A and B are shown apart, each in its own frame.
Chain A
Amino acid sequence: MIRPDADLLLDIVDLHATVADQPILKGVNLSIRAGEIHAVMGRNGSGKSTLSKVLAGHPAYSVTAGSVRYRGSDLLDLDPEQRARIGLFLGFQYPVEIPGVSNLEFLRVATNARRGELGKEELDTFAFEDVVRDRLKVVQMDAAFLERSVNEGFSGGEKKRNEILQMALLEPVVAILDETDSGLDIDALRIVAGGVNQLATPDNATLLITHYQRLLDVITPDFVHVMAAGRILRTGGKELALELEERGYDWVDQELAVLEVA
């Protein structure tokens, strides 16, 4: 939903970032307002996953230039946990398995960290169980997954559902979903997308990072951005995704070549 007067939630200006001294992001500009769903598309290596990790504060990435403002204040100054507490969420492409740490307890500690920031009281084990059982419905997940270790032995689809469950519990302001569709069969994709759609409100925003159009068949973006060589090359509506699907990414390379010469 595009409303020009909606609050500016995330404002990325000329963002440059490196990993292991290798420049990956080379001047990303992107503004996201409340109520909007954005999709960033691009080939492997275009920098789209790096963008998501830089926003979440992954320690392996260094920002070398540019700025990111979250609801008007500097985001890049904050530790990863502070970013999460104030409402930034990263859905991982490869959710990490943590043997020995119970999923239920992990979800409770995370939820309470976010609640503390919002001035809400902590949930004890019993109160939390009620909340989480309700939220499980968003992703049609079995309560048995709560008793297991975080993501341990989960299938690809179960891991992604667990990500969306976390999103449902943390109620982020800006959710960045990194290749949430990868490795999902069509049923799992529908469930995951259904969860994302349910959680979208006029007050929050979603940034989908994806390689394929098929996620965008089930989640309709307001804006589609095409990323290549660490920059956003083109921005359009959902029809841009269809065009990409039809023409492939080759024209992006040609456009990039023109740009590089210039």
Chain B
Amino acid sequence: MVVSSRLADRAVNDAWARRLLSHLPVPSGELEAVQVRGREALIRQSLPSRRQEDWRFTDLTPLKALDPLSLNPLTAAVGSSLPSAGWPAPAPGSLRLWLDGRSDPLAGQTLPPGLSRLSSDDLHQALGRSLAGCDCEQHWPVELNQATVSHCLALRVSGVIAETLELVCVADAQHTLRPVRVLLLLEEKASLEVLQVQLGSGASLSSLVVEAQLGRQAHLLHGLLALGEAEACFLGHLAVEQASESRFRSVMASRGWALSRFEPRITQRDGAAHTELKALQLAERDQLADTHSQVRFLGPDGALEQLHKAIAADQGHSVFNGAVAVPRQAQRTNANQLSRNLLLSDQARIDTKPQLEIVADDVRCTHGATVSRLQADQLFYLQSRGIDAATASRLLRRGFCQEVLRDFPAAAAVWNPLQRLMVEA
């Protein structure tokens, strides 16, 4: 019985990818080889299933509900995704690019000094390296992206860039598959702030793969504001390799996706770098919000500050798995991970799991997880100052979000992240 249902399951999963591939155009263009690789992988691998440890808590039903025969990566960016259609004006000092995975967002744009387009040779040499360096080049969501993407925004950063690079991707037409691929090479002492805004609605699938390489003393702040609606699904991978003394900060906030799965994976190649990961994910109605992070220290003296926050309401399900690998050579690593979760209904569910693999003996690694209603001691503290329970609860829910949102690049303000992420009681 079990066996036959497994086989049936497997057949459905295999069929989904095959049906998607069946109507894709023949691989072509600058990413032809990448497409070929991705499609071959999708034929070999079936869709992830809950029998795989990494997908144990992640029910892919919303993804399978998207009709693979209709999903089309070539859907043109329609009117609403163009700058004229009521989107907020970019913040002063930010450079907005519209990404649709197939056209060149740099066409007609002037890049600020220090930011340049990667040559085709450099692109092909660098593409996929950080995915491999972060051990996720064969992940199913990555292969799906590779199979379908026809353009990569590839930039070299060779100085301190004052402008915030704002990358906006909209999947708002029915049956849109929007694969976005970004590659950033930060040279020594380069510094950049990126804000990615991913908007999805209708029966659409947004797929994001970002690779970044940070040279010595480079600094990258990567903000990802992922806002979905209805049946829209989001799959995102962030693969970052850090040289020593570099600083990488990731801030992510997501809400509204039927299914969202975000995998930030960071490798400190020689240790001695600083990594900061902050995330806020919301799971409401019957949504599933999942973050699987991995940070690996391949040398000594590395540091990690990670704060993952989740709010689960209604029948929402939040999943967090935070892997931290500290092998023998990573002495004096200082890694702190905290998972804080707010459970706002009896039917909501939260699965949170630290996954520390520590071999080095001279390290300081802390981790903690809390799942609670609004914290009673905080509520009482506010009430004891004359603040009524409803106002206190609103202040606390807002504070819960702000602890993450305040670290977004300032350019994010035009998208009103707080108003979009704040859950009303």
Contact = CB atoms under 8 A, between A and B. Distances in A.
A99 B384 contact: no
Given A58-B380, A59-B376, A80-B380, A99 B386 contact: no
B386 A149 contact: no
30 contacts: A56-B384, A58-B380, A60-B376, A80-B380, A80-B383, A81-B384, A81-B385, A81-B386, A81-B387, A81-B389, A84-B384, A84-B385, A84-B386, A90-B384, A92-B384, A96-B380, A96-B381, A98-B381, A98-B382, A98-B399, A100-B398, A100-B401, A101-B396, A106-B395, A109-B387, A110-B382, A113-B385, A113-B387, A113-B388, A166-B385
Choose among B376, B391, B395 the residue with the greatest number of A CB atoms under 10 Å from its CB. B395
A170 interface: yes
Interface string B352-395: 00000000000000000000000011101111111111011001
Interface of B: 376-378, 380-389, 391-392, 395-396, 398-403, 406
A90 B386 CA distance: 11
Nearest to A114: B386
A110 B378 CA distance: 14
B385 to A, nearest CB: 4
Nearest to B401: A100
Given A84-B386, A113-B385, 9 more contacts: A80-B380, A84-B383, A99-B403, A100-B398, A101-B396, A101-B402, A109-B391, A110-B385, A114-B386
Contacts of A85: 386
Interface in A93-151: 95-96, 98-101, 105-106, 109-110, 113-114, 117, 149
A99 B387 contact: no
A211 B378 CA distance: 25
Q: Which of under 10, 10 to 19, 20 to 34, or 35 or more describes the interface residues of A?
A: 20 to 34
Contacts of A95: 381
Contacts of A92: 381, 384
A57 B388 CA distance: 13
A79 interface: yes
A10 B254 CA distance: 50
Interface of A: 56-60, 79-81, 83-85, 90, 92, 95-96, 98-101, 105-106, 109-110, 113-114, 117, 149, 166, 170
B336 to A, nearest CB: 14
B385 A170 contact: yes
Contacts of B396: 98, 101
Contacts of A109: 387, 391, 395
Contacts of A117: 386
A45 to B, nearest CB: 20
A92 to B, nearest CB: 7
B412 to A, nearest CB: 16
Contacts of A105: 395
A76 B403 CA distance: 35
A110 B403 contact: no
Contacts of B395: 98, 101, 105-106, 109
Nearest to A95: B381
Contacts of A113: 385-388
Contacts of B389: 79, 81
B156 to A, nearest CB: 36
Choose among A79, A81, A110 the residue with the greatest number of B CB atoms under 10 Å from its CB. A81
Contacts of B398: 100-101
A186 to B, nearest CB: 27
A219 to B, nearest CB: 22
B388 A81 contact: yes
B335 to A, nearest CB: 19
A208 to B, nearest CB: 17
Nearest to B381: A96
A170 B387 CA distance: 12
B400 A100 contact: yes
B373 to A, nearest CB: 13
Contacts of B406: 100
Contact of B403 (A57, A79, A149): A149
**In the complex, the 6 A-B pairs of residues with the closest C-beta atoms, listed nearest first:** A100-B399, A113-B386, A101-B399, A100-B402, A100-B403, A84-B386
B382 A106 contact: yes
Contacts of A80: 380, 383-384
B65 to A, nearest CB: 35
Nearest to A90: B384
B251 to A, nearest CB: 13
B383 A81 contact: yes
A125 B304 CA distance: 37
B383 A96 contact: no
Nearest to A84: B386
Given A96-B377, A109-B391, A109-B395, A170 B386 contact: yes
A114 B384 CA distance: 11
Nearest to B388: A81
A162 to B, nearest CB: 11
A57 B385 contact: no
Contacts of A110: 382, 385-387
Contacts of A83: 384
Contacts of A101: 395-396, 398-399, 402
B78 to A, nearest CB: 37
B402 A79 contact: no
A11 to B, nearest CB: 21
A100 B406 CA distance: 8
Choose among A58, A99, A106, A114 the residue with the greatest number of B CB atoms under 10 Å from its CB. A99
Nearest to B380: A58
B30 to A, nearest CB: 44
B280 to A, nearest CB: 10
Contact of A98 (B378, B384, B391, B401): B378
A59 B380 contact: yes
Given A81-B389, A113-B388, A99 B383 contact: no
B381 to A, nearest CB: 4
A109 B390 CA distance: 13
A98 B394 CA distance: 13
Contacts of B382: 98, 106, 110
A141 B342 CA distance: 33
Choose among A57, A101, A166 the residue with the greatest number of B CB atoms under 10 Å from its CB. A101
